[in-house]
Chain A
Amino acid sequence: MEVKQYNFKAVDNDKVISLLQDKFKSVGTSEGNFSLNHGQIYCEVSKETIKNTIKMLKNDKDLKFDYIKCITGVDYKEYLEIVYSLYSFDNNYSVNIKVRIDAANPDVDSITDVFWSADWFEREIWEFFGINFKGHPNLKTLLLPGDVDYHPLLKSFEIKWEKREYVRPKVFE
């Protein structure tokens, strides 16, 4: 194995956005709405094309988004959202891909066969937001106990301050 030095140069965000727009057109996935927020690129794509989009971003020779920084869900009450934060080691590009998901019928294609590391990220979102990842091989609870029937990070889930009485085991009496 040889040691590889990566590119530490600063990146012009506008250039990356125009490059991404070109690639989106050429592949035929949804074009996406681009926005800049605190110097980071956000891009919204439709639910149907998310898997192809991420596959394209990973395999494209000019982009090479080969690293998942983070996948997370957000509950905006009317709809849910998944944010895929990707990073390209070779080019030092970063992009955040957003997908809107219907809150009544939450499901989206799994990207576990594109990125290995998506496995636990998706499991976590599944148990905390109730979003079903179609095609995920091992969808079961990760951090919560196995018998929970709620999704704690939904805004409809409230933390209740319950008073629980301690029942002294009979063994000690």
Chain B
Amino acid sequence: MADEIKNNEIEVDEISAVNEPGDFPKDYMEINFGPHHPSTHGVFRFIAKLDGEKILEVEPIVGYLHRGIEKIAENRTYVQFKPLVDRLDYTGAMNNEFGYCIAVEKLMELEVPLKAQAIRVICAELNRICAHEVFFGAMGLEVGAFTPFLFGFKDREIAMHLMEMLAGGRLTFNYFTIGGVRQDVPKGFYAETKEYLKKFKKNLAEYHELFSGNEIFIKRTKGVGVITREDAIEWSMSGPTLRGSGAVFDIRKVEPYSGYDKYDWEVPVGKNGDVYDRYLVRMNEMAQSARIIEQALESLPEGDHQAKVARVIKPPAGEIYLRVEGTKGELGFYVVSDGTDKPYRMKIRTPSFNHLNALNYVLKNNYIADFPIILGSFDTVMGSVDR
């Protein structure tokens, strides 16, 4: 017994002799986060090396939702593959279909009727509002506010009902076809959409009043997770994440598709590149989407909802990389055709994939408590990362 006490004393002496006062031996902690954690927005896992509460290093681990969609594409015809595109970014399924259909149409050099183009724009922007409303709700949960979640989802429900009128589905629509849209809009759709937009504008002002100006929210998010514009470009970030860092860049403006250049709207941008700016960009984008839908409804052309397309779709041999502005950023389809009815290669470039790639860089030297809001500000959807 006496010996043990002696040994302890010696150890204590050694430690105090080695270290200066205040210079404690560093002890790092490795923690595992996820994959089944609600704040990871799906099945995402990472291993973080912590110094106290500060993050030193993060290793993201993805692939829990990998379904091999790119390989399946090589074994399906162009039409058979289309429903699977919905399952990539399931909050913005219309935008996924948009990208896929436009890529195949451009490969076939197919002209889409003007009416179908306008309906597509209405659908895509309605879906963008839905997706950003999920973001708004989740962002509220991230900082501990439950009301935005209820408000956002209540509003989203009406928009989903509108799309249900068109397609019959609420989340994965399978509404676009190669050459147009599956069916013409039903009676009462335009009137209900107009009514919805009126309500939505009122609600959006209420959201800003309720949440955007909230002092606790601003203190949690301002100056957190800052990404400069140059770094965002270097990391291949796109969409609201890039715009939050001060780049006035939108694929709908730069490479306009489906008649986006006909409408009058602005690209919302942030100045500081922090979480709050990315949040504001998304909120302002919803207002712009409403603006686009209003204009599209006013100037709706007459005509067919679908181009005349052969029953078996066989694009000529060739390749194309086509990108559209998805709900989270640049959504690209690299399609290689060998002249048969099945794609030879289908690469899907999704925005969330690149945002997670940069996660180690963004999270470094932030606190672990800020992790949910930083990841939430990217609005990642694991379905589109893992494919």
Q: Which residues of A come within 8 Å of B, CB atoms?
A: 1-6, 8, 37-38, 40, 42, 66-70, 72, 74-75, 83, 85, 89, 92, 96, 115-117, 119-120, 128, 141-145, 152-153, 157, 159
Contacts and interface: CB of A to CB of B under 8 A. Distances in A.
A145 B63 contact: yes
B188 interface: no
Given A70-B334, A144-B63, 5 more contacts: A1-B271, A38-B318, A143-B66, A153-B70, A153-B345
B238 to A, nearest CB: 9
Contact of B66 (A66, A85, A144): A144
B340 to A, nearest CB: 13
Contact of A67 (B75, B233, B347, B386): B233
A116 B235 contact: yes
Contacts of B236: 67-69, 115, 117
B32 interface: no
Given A4-B247, A74-B345, A143-B386, A116 B234 contact: yes
B320 to A, nearest CB: 5
Nearest to B338: A76
B358 A37 contact: no
A136 B48 CA distance: 22
A14 to B, nearest CB: 18
Interface in B229-246: 229, 233-236, 245-246
Main secondary structure of the interface of B (DSSP, over half): mixed
Nearest to A124: B353
B246 A153 contact: no
B288 interface: no
A6 B354 contact: no
A18 B7 CA distance: 79
Contacts of B272: 1
A55 to B, nearest CB: 14
A75 B346 CA distance: 11
A120 B357 contact: yes
A146 to B, nearest CB: 9
Which 8 A-B pairs give the minimum distances between C-beta atoms?
A117-B236, A72-B347, A143-B63, A70-B349, A120-B357, A143-B66, A5-B248, A3-B246
B246 A1 contact: yes
